[in-house]
Amino acid sequence: MEKSYIRFYALREMRARPRTFLPLFAIFFGVMLLMGNLLIYAQCQLTSDIAYYKVETQLILPDLTEEEVFLLRQMDFVRQAEAVETDRYTYTCYVELTEDVNTRVYAISDSLLEIIDRLGLDDRSDPYIHFLYWYHDQQTGPSEAIDRSRLFNGRYMNALRDGMFQPATISLACIAALMLFAVVVLVYRMKIEQAAKEYACLVGMGMSLRDLGKIQYLQGFLLLTAAFVPSQLLAIGTMKIVSLLSFRLYPEFDGNQALLFSVPWSTLGILYLLYLCAMLLGTRLCLAPYRTKSISAILSGSADKIPYVAKSSVKFLSRGNFDRYGNVWKQRNRRNVLPVMVLFFCLILFPAFLFGAFLGGIFDVRDALTDTGSRAVVQLHAYGISGDGYKGVPYTVIRELASLPDVDDVRFSYDYKVKGMTTLADQAGGYTPVNTSGGAVDCQQYMVTSFAGERPDTGEVWVCPDFPAEVGDTVTLRQNGKTVDMVIGKKHPGLTMRIPAYDKTRRIYEIAFDETLYPALYGEAPVMLSGYISICSSVPDGEIPALLQKIAVLTGDTKVYLNDHDRFLHGTIERSYLLENSFYQNRIGTIHSAFLCLFFLVQTLYLMLCAASVIGSTISFQLHRRRAEFAVLRALGLENTAIHALAASYTGLLFRWVIPVLYPVLVLFLYFGNPDAGIRTNDFGEKVIGALPTLYYGLGAYAVTCTVLYLLYGGTARYTSARSAGQMLSVPLAVSVKERE
């Protein structure tokens, strides 16, 4: 016999009671597979993004002073730092890291963090944040003209932030642990109730409650480990296969895989520890009620809760008919509604919801593989409207672009931001930069960017909160001898004021205005639009170069620059804009997400099968718990068909409560949680209009998923009930009655 009785008993119980432990295993397996995969997804998505943009590794650090560039070059992990003067006092620095740092994504993040820390760049983070938000949602790919370097910077800021906090990972891990905790409490409570007398007997023989808890915890630990390892191996293996498959299918991307994947060991470790904690807490919580009960009470059964008998007895007996025994069962089933709902939510409806949500993945994959429905998007980047002149794409050219036969749509931004710079010395000299009576801001530096989809009205400016004037005041802007008066319409928190490190007496205020400012300041010159201009076309893949050529002719562009680095260092900046073919990047983005959808779809289908087996096991377990009761009923003369009916009544829970009640709740949750619609939208009109597709989608998903649920789970439930009842009825009555004790 085993030396450790705790281990011995725990293992023996697991072996002797497969009916109890198999559902537990299936539940754990299911929960961990699902939530573990979501975690892996969150982690590898991040890794994939970062690894992807590590191509041609560079860090671009704008707004550095000469002294800072010097310090930067002294850092041990910096192999080369090339500085390009971008203003009178500032440099943009292109940094190449040493090779040992360059190969590891997080090492690069750490280096960037260290640079920011050592140079004290925190207080002038607006360029970084600017990059971050500007490029955050941009899908990029390995096409020839991708502006990788800027994206690289933005992505690294992302990585830096996520690497430090990883909110998605942490929150998913917490959700997973909570789900596991709920399942442990529900299932272990059931299990401990079943074996309460045996445990009381063990305590009676001298086992402490603490040791009894160790038995439960050891079983949980074994189940957890047995479920965790294969489920995560399965998930990782699937992910790896998808990654390899995407690479094989699209070799033309020259080493840039559609989905890069690396195993997030640390995340898995954290997840496992969290699960262990949830397990420990869950088992402790289940045993807690027994600490206050005496051994004799548990052994005599007086500690059992049987309120349903008391409640139903009057109704039951008053009919004087044993057929009414079904009332007792109905009450029992109602008692089970809450735990069953929680169990089903954790393991069944959540996967079902995902199943519905990822149905669209099939169509995405089809589109991506057959190239139907994909659109070519050519982006025109117009850079740099500076104080020395104006550059960008004339509005007249944009009209011509829109009239090209292959072009479906041209989208561009109207919103601008300008930095008005002045000095305290100027103020001391009587020159008022901003006032309400015709003063002026000396606009020495301009910066153009998209501005969250908003823009000021004509003749109106928005200023940063620190701007030395109030809403309603007039600001006079001056350029090339011309002045424009504009009214301050709003102090916008998205605009900032900063003090440049190279001249602490200066203040740089951000001001946003609309496109009418340009013709007002520059006279007869055409309106120049700067920023991103997206030209959408449905031309086939092979005709993209021809379209690019047409656009290049119209815009007068003779050269496509690979990135900012080339543009600054090697290009002659005759025209300060950049053509970019976003077709490949969009396509690869679609493939990327389509594969992930497919991945989740496969996983979810597997989970649904897993859940069906859990339903079967749970129902079988519940019915066998009552086999002695069935035997007594049979002995009292109840017909076999009535036993079948009682057994089947358990499945009514699924049809009456769980699917019709919980699933719509989940769909509503989807609707309200949608960031583009529902209660999270500020505008009421958008709420209604934005909600419609979601609702239609929800209804469609609801219909499809309900059908699947009814067929899969309902069929399983009915089959198990019939089978269990058949098994019990096949046992001789004498044997069944003996099993009562």
Partner 1 sequence: MTDNIILRCEGVNKLYKQGEETIYALRDVSMTVRRGEFLVLYGRSGSGKSTLLNVLSGFDTPTAGKVHIDGQDMEGMNDRQRAKLRNEKIGFVFQSYHLLPILTARENILSPLLIGKRPIDEGYFRDLCETLGITSRLEHLPSELSGGECQRVAVARAMIGRPAVLFADEPTGNLDKRSAGELIRLLKQAHEVYGQTIVMVTHDETLLEYGDRVYRMENGTPVLV
Q: Give contact residues for partner 1 (rule: CB under 8 A).
A: 1, 5, 8, 12-13, 16-17, 197-198, 201-211, 291, 294-297, 299, 741
State the nearest-atom distance from the C-beta of 738 to partner 1, in Å.
9
Q: Which residue's CB is nearer to partner 1, number 100 or number 741?
A: 741
Strand 531-537: give its sheet, edge to edge: 407-412, 531-537, 376-382, 577-581
DSSP string computed for 182-213: HHHHHHHHHHHHHTHHHHHHHHHTT--HHHHH
Measured distance CA(28)–CA(146) in Å, rounded: 45
Residues 6+ apart with CB under 8 A from 426: 433, 442
Q: C-beta of 196: minimal distance to partner 1 in Å?
A: 11
- Return the number of the residue (199 or 599) whose C-beta is nearest partner 1: 199
Q: Which is nearer to partner 1, 683 or 741 (CB)?
A: 741
Contact between residue 587 and residue 374 where contact means Cβ atoms under 8 Å apart: yes
> Closest separation between CB of residue 1 and partner 1, Å?
7
SS (H, E, C) 655-700: HHHHHHHHHHHHHHHHHHHCCCCHHHCCCHHHHHHHHHHHHHHHHH
CB of 618: closest distance to partner 1 in angstroms?
Answer: 21
Distance of CA 349 to the CA centre of its chain: 19
Which residues, 6+ apart, have CB-to-CB distance to 504 below 8 Å?
none
Nearer to partner 1, 16 or 499 (CB): 16
CB-nearer residue toward partner 1: 205 or 428: 205
Given a contact cutoff of 8 angstroms between Cβ atoms, the answer to whether 547 and 406 are in contact is yes
Are the beta carbons of 170 and 77 closer than 8 angstroms? no
DSSP class of residue 525 equals S
The CA–CA distances, whole Å, from 136 to 133, 139, 561, 700 equal 5, 9, 21, 32
Rounded least distance, CB 6 to partner 1, Å:
9
For partner 1, give the closer residue by CB, 55 or 285: 285
Pick the closer one to partner 1 by CB: 198 or 442: 198
DSSP for 357-411, written as a single string: HTTHHHHHHHHHHHTTT--EEEEEEE----TT---SEEHHHHHHHHTSTTEEEEE
Residue 615 Cβ vs partner 1, minimum distance, rounded to whole Å: 26
Q: Give 54's DSSP letter.
A: T
Considering the complex, state which of residue 212 and residue 596 has its C-beta at the smaller distance from partner 1: 212
Cα 487 vs. chain centroid, distance in angstroms?
Answer: 42
Task: Give min distance, CB of 600 to partner 1, in A.
Answer: 41
Closer of 12 and 334 to partner 1 (Cβ):
12
Closest separation in Å from C-beta 193 to partner 1: 16
Which phi and psi (to 5°) does residue 285 adopt? -65, -35
Contact yes or no for 324/313 (Cβ under 8 A): no
Q: How far is the CB of 195 from partner 1 (least distance, A)?
A: 9
Q: At closest approach, how far in Å is the CB of 708 from partner 1? A: 39
Q: How many residues does the chain have?
A: 741
Residue 84 or 201: the one with the smaller Cβ distance to partner 1 is: 201
Contacts of 326 (CB under 8 A, 6+ apart): 645, 646, 649
